[in-house]
Amino acid sequence: MAVTNQLGIDPDKYKWGFHDPEKYVYKSRKGLDREIVEMISSMKNEPEWMRAYRLHSLEHFQQRPMPVWGANLAQIDFNDIYYYLKPTEKKERSWDEVPENIKNTFEKLGIPEAERKFLAGAGAQYESESVYHNLKEEWEKLGVIFLDTDSALREHPDIVREYFGTVVPPEDNKLAALNSAVWSGGSFVYVPAGVHVDIPLQAYFRINAQNMGQFERTLIICEPGSYVHYVEGCTAPIYTTDSLHSAVVEIIVKEGARCRYTTIQNWSTNTYNLVTKRAVAYRDATMEWIDGNLGSKITMKYPSVYMVEPGAKAEILSVAFAGRGQHQDPGGKVIHAAPHTQSVIVSKSIAKDGGRAGYRGLVKIYSGANGSKSAVRCDALILDDQSRSDTYPTMEIDEQDVSITHEATVSKVSDEQLFYLMSRGVKADEAMNMIVRGFVEPIVKELPLEYAVELNRLIALEMEGSVG
Amino acid sequence: MADLEIRDLTVQVEDKVILKGANLTLSKGEVHALMGPNGSGKSTLANVLMGNPFYQVVKGEVLYKGQDLLAMSPDERARRGLFIAFQYPVSIPGVTMSSFLRTAVSARRGYDKELMPVGEFQKLLKQKMDELKIEPAIVSRYVNEGFSGGEKKRAEILQMAMLEPEIAIMDETDSGLDIDSVKVVSDGVNRMLERAKGAMGILLITHYSRILHFIKPSYVHVMFDGRFVVSGGPDLAEELEQSGYEGIKAQFEVIAAEVQAEGAVRRAGKVFWVAH
């Protein structure tokens, strides 16, 4: 009856732990230096400004110390990583053209089916390069652009150059500098003024090779009055050595536009997931981050919204689940830099089998951002005595005329709750599942049905064997 | 053989012995009222019967339809037809009453991998809610979360109606309810009894005799200090209403002294006490 910790996340249970044989067009040597960066740039046939940008970023990366204020990153050996792996010669717009083994992987992940059923467009990245990107014609006709970022740099160089690195500069942090030096793939989304893309666009990121580093770069631009919902999913095989995923996501939400960015991250538990995600929201614009973190060894990710004009709104909803050997350190940052801006942060973390999950966040209200409102709520659920939850909420409020609320709870699944459900005939493991599902319900109900079902299924998978 | 046989049940919580050798037999078709002052062990008995892990059984046995009830997990007990309407039901945030009820009814009805078909479930739910005069809005709320005392009690009775138990324990369902609510709940329970045609038994735990005006018991038992001290027919409840527990207590102390002297089972009219 009492909560036990028989099973963590083991290879048998992680459904996406399979890997394909490596058949690559190009695989860089391990390690990172100027030569590797120049090679990536030249293979991509990039304009000179991007090559210079990469080299500048590399310098910054090399000088900058590792962040030590968060999770333990001391075991990452940057010299033991492959920084560039090119899986195929070209990117396709039809799944039939995608090489068989890679296509099979994405079939197993259900991507083509999802695209047919409920997406406006889908992208798939395998190792360093996007292998597939397609936008349904109706959206293309309205001027929506949905490409991998390398193609965007070739096909829309002016737009990319105007915005690239403006939200997350290379100097922002060490991992952002790393991404800026070796970035490859990622999504580029451009939504023209007034266009509402009312069904989601989705990109799927897959690491296959051992010791792989994946550094996609995503840039989303929402012109005034537009709307888009972008969804990303990620998985990787189980290896005994670690992989590194370090993305940068930049989003520009212009006047009256709304962007929703949903992540369901299910990396294998040997993946370091160190991601910089940031949006700028202009007048009356709304940015929403919905962040589900289930996999990875360590995740450090603090989606941010800079509200730089009056009436901007930010919403950050996150769920983190840490099992054995996992440290989930997610959170969010909201920067109120204009009057009458509003933010809501809701964080739900679950720790089990010795896992560590929590919330790290910042609410910053600048002087002059009068009439702004911020509400932060973080709830932690700890499933056994070995697990741990940490909450690090920071508030910097330099304006008097504001409304701020902060609530935090830490709870354990009580035997009383389990007993209550079981007294109605519900088996112990299902009772535990129900309690955990209920705990994350405020986030799950924000997701489109297909993703809500998927998130609940993933949580149920993580919960297997939770109750003895 | 009775459907539920409690024999010499001795139970402790941490180091404190709460039940001190309780004996009771109950069969489907019977309504047993269990009365007694606060702290006499009534709720402990109810929780132990349902398998609450907070309580440790140190001695005795309970047979349910001839099988060892104490060896079964709470969920197995429930699937086999045992039910408890809790005095203080806990809340389950984020889980709606309807999804909880559907899961529970499916478990009780033997659905294994899938759930009961949603149409069938909703029809059943609507029927039961109408009968119990329960606001339909309650089923889209989270289980017991933010419920008033009365709503919690009605929600427990709704669960009882949905699960159609063979033996139901009602733990002070009437306390905290106004007289109109007691009547609605009682009508609901009487309808369940009627519809069950002898296939349901009830152990009705109450502090006051008020509810017994609405749900007529076949037997009345009084617990005191962890033991059944008095058993009788419906008139025992009337008697208690007149004399209060003090009267029983005085009687009990006399008998207790005699029994202690003789070290045997003693009967005095309808009053008996089993020594252990």
> Please, what is the average pLDDT of chain A?
91
Q: Which two tokens stand for residue A232?
A: 């990303």
Query: Distance between CA B159 and CA A248 in Å, rounded?
Result: 50
Do A108 and A57 touch, CB atoms closer than 8 A?
no
Cα radius of gyration (chain A): 21
Which band of pLDDT confidence, cut at 50, 70 and 90, is reported for residue B273?
Answer: very low
Q: Which two tokens stand for residue A249?
A: 């996501």
pLDDT, tens digit, 9 for 90 and up, residues B153-191: 999 999 999 999 999 999 999 988 899 889 999 999 999
Between A and B, how many CB-CB pairs are < 8 A?
85
Q: Is the pLDDT of residue B102 over 80?
A: yes
Contact status of A407 with chain B (Cβ, < 8 Å): no
More confident residue, B25 or B176: B25
Q: Domain containing B32 — which CATH number?
A: 3.40.50.300
> Minimal Cα–Cα distance from B40 to chain A, Å?
22
Q: Is the pLDDT of residue B104 over 80?
A: yes
Residues paired with residue B92 on neighbouring β-strands, in sequence order? B143
Mean pLDDT of A298-307: 97
pLDDT, tens digit, 9 for 90 and up, residues A95-148: 888 888 888 888 888 888 888 888 888 999 998 888 898 999 999 999 999 999
Among A16-20, A410-414, B42-46, the range scoring the smallest mean pLDDT is: A16-20
Interface probe with B: pick from A421, A436, A440, A456, most Cβ of B within 10 Å: A421
Q: Provide the 10 A C-beta neighbour count for residue B109.
A: 16
Instruction: State CA B227 to chain mean position distance.
Output: 16
Query: A44-59 burial by CB neighbour count: b if 16+ within 10 A, else e?
Result: bebeeebbebbeebbe
Contact status of B108 with chain A (Cβ, < 8 Å): yes
pLDDT, tens digit, 9 for 90 and up, residues A448-457: 888 888 888 8
| Of the partner residues B74, B93, B142, the one whose CB lies closest to the CB of residue A423 | B74
Beta carbons of A434 and B159 less than 8 Å apart? no
Contacts of B164 in chain A (CB under 8 A): none
Closest residue of chain A to B156, computed from CA coordinates:
A424
Contact status of B152 with chain A (Cβ, < 8 Å): no
Contact status of A90 with chain B (Cβ, < 8 Å): no
pLDDT value of position A273: 95
pLDDT value of position B124: 96
Contact status of A416 with chain B (Cβ, < 8 Å): yes
pLDDT, tens digit, 9 for 90 and up, residues A314-365: 999 999 999 999 999 999 999 999 999 999 999 999 999 999 999 999 999 9
pLDDT value of position B235: 86
Q: Provide the 10 A C-beta neighbour count for residue A370.
A: 16
Kindly report the CA angle at A439 between A408 and A262, in degrees rounded to 5?
90
> A329, A375, A376: which is closest to A349 by C-alpha?
A329
pLDDT, tens digit, 9 for 90 and up, residues A170-183: 999 999 999 999 99
pLDDT value of position B54: 92
Interface probe with B: pick from A350, A377, A416, A424, most Cβ of B within 10 Å: A424
Q: Which two tokens stand for residue B127?
A: 């029927």
Name residue A231's amino acid: V
Q: Is the pLDDT of residue A373 over 60?
A: yes
* Count of structural domains, chain B: 1
Do B58 and B107 touch, CB atoms closer than 8 A?
no
Q: Is the pLDDT of residue B195 over 80?
A: yes
Contacts of B100 in chain A (CB under 8 A): 421, 424, 434
**How far is residue B42 from each of residues A165, A203, A234, A357, B270, measured CA to CA in Å?**
69, 59, 54, 42, 21
Q: Which two tokens stand for residue A288?
A: 């929403």
Return the percentage of chain A with pLDDT > 70, whole number: 96
Interface probe with B: pick from A423, A433, A439, most Cβ of B within 10 Å: A423
Which band of pLDDT confidence, cut at 50, 70 and 90, is reported for residue A210?
Answer: confident
Which band of pLDDT confidence, cut at 50, 70 and 90, is reported for residue A309?
Answer: very high
Contact status of A438 with chain B (Cβ, < 8 Å): yes
> Minimal Cα–Cα distance from B94 to chain A, Å?
4
Mean pLDDT of A420-445: 93
pLDDT value of position A369: 98
Beta carbons of A423 and B75 less than 8 Å apart? yes
Contacts of A426 in chain B (CB under 8 A): 75, 78, 103-104, 107
Q: Provide the 10 A C-beta neighbour count for residue B267.
A: 10
Q: Is the pLDDT of residue B52 over 90?
A: yes
Contact status of B269 with chain A (Cβ, < 8 Å): no
> Please, what is the average pLDDT of chain B?
89
Contacts of A441 in chain B (CB under 8 A): 93-95
ipTM summary value: 0.91
Which band of pLDDT confidence, cut at 50, 70 and 90, is reported for residue B259?
Answer: low
pLDDT, tens digit, 9 for 90 and up, residues A232-268: 988 888 887 889 999 999 999 999 999 999 998 888 8
Contacts of A431 in chain B (CB under 8 A): 75
Contact status of A397 with chain B (Cβ, < 8 Å): no
Domain residue ranges of chain A, discontinuous segments joined by +: 26-463
Do B144 and B160 touch, CB atoms closer than 8 A?
no
pLDDT value of position B267: 37
Beta carbons of A438 and B94 less than 8 Å apart? yes
pLDDT, tens digit, 9 for 90 and up, residues A288-302: 999 999 889 999 999
Q: Is the pLDDT of residue A90 over 90?
A: no
pTM for this model (two decimals): 0.83
Mean pLDDT of B19-33: 95
Do A20 and A101 touch, CB atoms closer than 8 A?
yes
pLDDT value of position B265: 40
Contact status of B52 with chain A (Cβ, < 8 Å): yes
Q: Which helix (H) or strand (E) holds A334?
A: strand A327-336
> Minimal Cα–Cα distance from B108 to chain A, Å?
6
pLDDT value of position A14: 74
Interface probe with B: pick from A422, A434, A436, A439, most Cβ of B within 10 Å: A422
Q: Provide the 10 A C-beta neighbour count for residue B261.
A: 9
pLDDT, tens digit, 9 for 90 and up, residues A2-55: 322 222 334 456 777 888 888 888 888 999 999 999 999 999 999 999 999 999
Domain with B152 in it: 4-273
DSSP string, A16-33: T---PPP--SEEPPBS--
Q: Is the pLDDT of residue A417 over 80?
A: yes
Closest residue of chain B to A428, computed from CA coordinates:
B75
Contacts of A421 in chain B (CB under 8 A): 92, 100, 104
Contact status of A452 with chain B (Cβ, < 8 Å): no
Contacts of B77 in chain A (CB under 8 A): 423
Which band of pLDDT confidence, cut at 50, 70 and 90, is reported for residue B269?
Answer: very low
Do A251 and A276 touch, CB atoms closer than 8 A?
no
